[in-house]
Amino acid sequence: MTEAGKRYSTISILLHWLIAALVLVQILLISAHDATEGPMSREFVQIHKSVGLAVLLLTLFRIGWRVANPPPALPATMKPWEKALSGTVHVLFYVALILLPLTGWAASSAMRREIVWFGLFNWPLLPVGGGRETAGALMDLHGIAVKTVYGLVALHVIGALKHQFIDRDTVLGRMVPFLARRP
């Protein structure tokens, strides 16, 4: 099998899909928060914070794993601009998946609002002051990062579908566990 035909490692595949699922959970949690009021709304936010910090930890682990276990090479048939776009989208995903939880954590810290990680323990707050004004600025940045992730997801999915149905190469099969690999 050529280098371009190899799959990502099982750990890489697991981390990819786990983080993707948690990002979807984040969207659902904040949507539920926006649709409810009172204690339940606050509970959705608390879970959102816990999941966000889990995404941060998993993303940092994923970056370390990727450095130690480089991904398979892209197909030689890909144009240089496609390879550059692919690399840029991946780097921006990592930046966003770090920036999102950090800005949320920092905003909670600025307001001195505790974060109880999945009900297990109080997550330490960052040494950020400034109260409501600082928290608001951080949440504005958080919102921009959310919109950036939406755009990145769209590019990522479009690229994956292009590879599968137009290019008919092995790129999508390297990350989708049940997709048959082509010889």
In total, the chain counts a number of residues equal to: 183
pLDDT at 146: 97
pTM of the model as a whole: 0.93
Topology at the third CATH level for domain 3-174: Fumarate Reductase Cytochrome B subunit (1.20.950)
pLDDT at 2: 44
Query: What does the buried/exposed string (b/e) look like for 75-90 if buried means 16 or more CB atoms within 10 Å of the residue's CB?
Result: beebeeebeeebeeee
pLDDT at 181: 56
Q: Where are the domains of the chain?
A: 3-174
CA distances from residue 99 to 29, 104, 151, 175 in whole angstroms, order as listed: 19, 8, 15, 24
pLDDT mean by block of 10 residues, the chain; 183 residues: 69 97 98 96 97 98 97 93 96 98 98 96 97 98 97 97 92 84 52
